[in-house]
Every structure is written in structure tokens, then in C-alpha cells.
Amino acid sequence: MNSVSMLNDVAGAGVAVESIRKSYGTVVTAVDDVSLKVKPGEFVSILGPSGSGKTTLLMMIAGFERPTSGRLIIGDQDMTYTRPEKRGLGMVFQRYALFPHMSVADNIAYPLKRRGVSRAEIRQRVEAALKLISLDGLGTRMPTALSGGQQQRVAVARALVSQPPVMLMDEPLSALDKKLRDQMQLEIMRLHRTVGVTIIYVTHDQEEALSLSDRIVVMNRGRIEQVGTPDELYDEPASAFVADFIGRTSFLAATCLAVEGSNARMRVNDATEVIVPVSRCRDIVVGARVRIAVRPEALKLAVVGSAQLSGTLEGSRFVGSSELAFVRIANGELLQVQTEPGVSRKLQAGSPVGIMFDASRVSVFREGA
């Protein structure tokens, strides 16, 4: 593909964020002592709830906000206080920020003009970029005459056309509908693979983060909760917050009774005792109140009596290839249990059910941690 070849000869650069902090006044600390190393060519998502500081972190990397303290290194240069236009980064904004008074082609040509690229080369590269995003022939349109998905692609092309080593994206798909979003995710992945650019991608959509990223940074209240691959985050969440935030999770309140070798004995529900491998527990001491996080697929419906827990079926929901049963247990907690299709929906709401769980797939956290 000729159009891609002209974009992919740039190598992605690494980004190192070192103890960066950003405060507004004395009360608000939007980003609190964040450190992060992004490898060249890596696709890293920053994931977190609203107000967790994702945009602020990205703005500091882009140069639109000055860090209160800390350092930022892009490639091998300290760019903590470098002006945004000198950083050479690409950026895609949530609402695209296509210049409404310029045609699509002029929008894409904008960064090239700023770099003094010759007219002939600009024309050639803009055409190549349009082809890359499958919008050939629409160069003379105004941005407002394009659909949301098309605008999105133009914004990506504009950010990439100057071959930046790093591309920043702030919730670039949040304004699109679900189907278009899935399609654009694929395109972004394709671009990332072919172009080789480092991507830092902000989102509050965990599915998006899980399906796109090499690694995910989970942020909460300005701090990093966990950095890891999607598998690590899903299987070994570092905190109850991460466990809750990523994937479906039910929590069981329990007390740690004893640690016996590589197993910990816990009492759930003031009655049932379960054995959990110590490797699944985070800083547990005997006697502590804990929360056991369980994924739906680690739970099974069973016959009452023979099961570890019992409760009442409140309802169930079809989720494609399987079903989710919602079971209220005696202490009032609601558990989500994955079943084969058709199984839970055969049962009447209100029927008593038993629950078995796979102790090797739970995570245990100290209460309040």
C-alpha cells in the first residue's frame, strides 16, 4: 500500500511521565504524582471514571497544561515545558476540532504548511492521507458536510499526516454510535499496526480500552490504580476499584479466619467458610474484614444444600452467548452468576438457588483499601 508506506517510515517514540502533578489552586489536584513509561510503538489506554484526571494528564503531555511538578520526557528529550507546537505530537480531540472554515484537504494540509512542506508534496501527501482513510475525492468538502465517522477519520489523518512519533487521542470515539465506534476501533488498530506510531488513548469505556490496548492505565482521583495488560487487569486487579471498574464483578463481604499454608480460610456470610489461595489475596491479615471480588464466570448455579452459598434468584438476563443470573444472598449482597443459555431463565424469580464458586479465580482485598 503506497499510501501507508509514506506514513509508516517513522518510528514511534517512548514517553516517560515522571512524578507529574497538576493542581488547580490549593483545593483541586487533578493529577497526583503520576509516573508512567510508554514504550515506542506501544498502544496505551488511560482509563478511568469521569473527573479522574485523564484529560489533564493528556493535556500535560500535549503541552496545553503546565505540570505543577514532575518531568515529561518524549523520545529522549525533556519536554516538560516545551511549547505544544514544538513537541511534534499528533492529537485527536473528542469533538475532532476540525477547522470549520477550511476544507477537508486544507485541514489535513495544515500541519504540513506549518512545517514548510512544498506545495506539490502537500498535495501528494494529502491525497495519500485521504486514500488511507478511504475519503478520496472528498478533499474539497467542508468538515460540516461530513458524517461524524468521516470527520473522525479526517481528524486522525490530520494528526498523522506530519508523521508524529506519538499520537494522543482524547475519547476520540465517544461522539459516535456503537456500530461506528466498533468499526473505527478496527481502523485505529489497523493504523497503529501499519504506521507504528506510539498511541496514548484516553477513554472511560473499558471495553474499548480492553480491545485496543497493549497496556491500560487505570486512573482514579488523579492517581494511577494499576498499569497492566488487559489480561492482567481482568484476572489480577490490583485493587477493589480496578476489579469493580473492569468487567462484571460481584463483591462478597468476608472475614479472614486463618492462613493455612498456601490457603486462607474465610468466613462468608457469617456462616459459610471458603478456602482461597493466598496468591489471590492482597495484604491480608488474620481477623481482617475483606471483600472477595468474583467474576460471573467464576460462579456456578447449583442445587441448594450441596452448594457453598444459597440465595434467591431475583432475575436473569440474556447477554449473547450466555446468561447472567442475579442472586440475592442472605446478607443482602447481589451476585452475578454466569450460566449456560436457557438455564437461569427456566427458573422462576424468587426460587431458592445454590451457588458454587471457583476459589482460584477470585480476588480478595482488605476492606476499605
Partner 1 sequence: MAARMTSTSTAGIYSPATALVLLLPLIALFCGAFLYPVGRLLAMAVFDPDFTVRHLAKAVESPLYVNVFLRTARIAAAVTLAAFALGYPVALLMSRLSGRAALFVTACVLVPLWTSVLVRSYAWIVLLQTNGLVNGLLRWLGLTEGPLKLLYTEATVLVAMTHVLLPYMILPIYGALRAIPADYERAARNLGAGAVTSFITVTLPLSLPGIFAGCLIVFILSLGFYITPALVGGPETLMAATLISQQATELLDWPFASALSLLLLAGTLVVVVVFRRFLSLSKGL
Told to check if 24 binds ligand ATP by CB under 6 A, we report yes
Give min distance, CB of 53 to Mg ion, in A.
9
Q: Which three cell numbers stand for residue 226?
A: 494499576
Handedness of CA 106, 109, 110, 116 (dihedral sign): negative
Give min distance, CB of 188 to ligand ATP, in A.
19
Told to check if 28 binds ligand ATP by CB under 6 A, we report yes
- 124 Cβ contact list (under 8 Å, min separation 6): none
What is the Cα Rg of the chain in Å?
Answer: 25
The stretch near ligand ATP (CB under 6 A) out of 52-60, 66-74, 235-243, 324-332 is: 52-60
Told to check if 55 binds Mg ion by CB under 5 A, we report yes
Using DSSP's 3-state secondary structure scheme, residue 184 falls into: helix
Give min distance, CB of 91 to partner 1, in A.
4
Told to check if 367 binds partner 1 by CB under 8 A, we report no
The stretch near partner 1 (CB under 8 A) out of 155-163, 223-231, 309-317, 361-369 is: 155-163
Told to check if 110 binds partner 1 by CB under 8 A, we report yes
Give min distance, CB of 243 to ligand ATP, in A.
20
Of the candidates 153, 204, 280, 300, which one interacts with ligand ATP according to CB under 6 A? 204
The candidate with the shortest Cα–Cα distance to 236, out of 282, 303, 173, is: 282
Told to check if 203 binds Mg ion by CB under 5 A, we report no
> Distance (Å, rounded) from C-alpha 103 to C-alpha 119?
16
Helix (H) or strand (E) holding 35: strand 28-38
> Distance (Å, rounded) from C-alpha 233 to C-alpha 244?
11
Using DSSP's 3-state secondary structure scheme, residue 254 falls into: strand
Q: How many residues bind Mg ion (CB under 5 A)?
A: 1
> Distance (Å, rounded) from C-alpha 332 to C-alpha 55?
38
Q: In what order do the strands lie in the sheet with 363-366?
A: 272-277, 263-268, 250-260, 289-294, 363-366
- 120 Cβ contact list (under 8 Å, min separation 6): none
Residue 88 interaction partner, one of ligand ATP, partner 1, Mg ion, none, beta carbon < 5-8 Å per kind? partner 1
Q: How many residues bind ligand ATP (CB under 6 A)?
A: 12
Closer Cβ to partner 1, 56 or 336, answer by number: 56
Q: How far is CA 150 from the centre of its chain?
A: 24
Spatial contact of 15 and 58, defined as CB atoms under 8 Å apart? no
Spatial contact of 278 and 349, defined as CB atoms under 8 Å apart? no
Residue 89 interaction partner, one of partner 1, Mg ion, ligand ATP, none, beta carbon < 5-8 Å per kind? partner 1
The stretch near Mg ion (CB under 5 A) out of 48-56, 217-225, 234-242, 312-320 is: 48-56
Told to check if 52 binds ligand ATP by CB under 6 A, we report yes
Told to check if 158 binds ligand ATP by CB under 6 A, we report no
**Per-position x/- string for 58-97, each x denoting binding to partner 1 as judged by CB under 8 A, each - no binding:** ----xxx------------------xxx-xxxxx-xxx-x
Handedness of CA 341, 347, 350, 353 (dihedral sign): negative
Q: Which residues bind partner 1 (CB under 8 A)?
A: 62-64, 83-85, 87-91, 93-95, 97, 99-101, 103, 110-111, 114-115, 142, 144, 158-159, 162
Q: Which residues bind ligand ATP (CB under 6 A)?
A: 24, 28, 30, 48, 50-56, 204
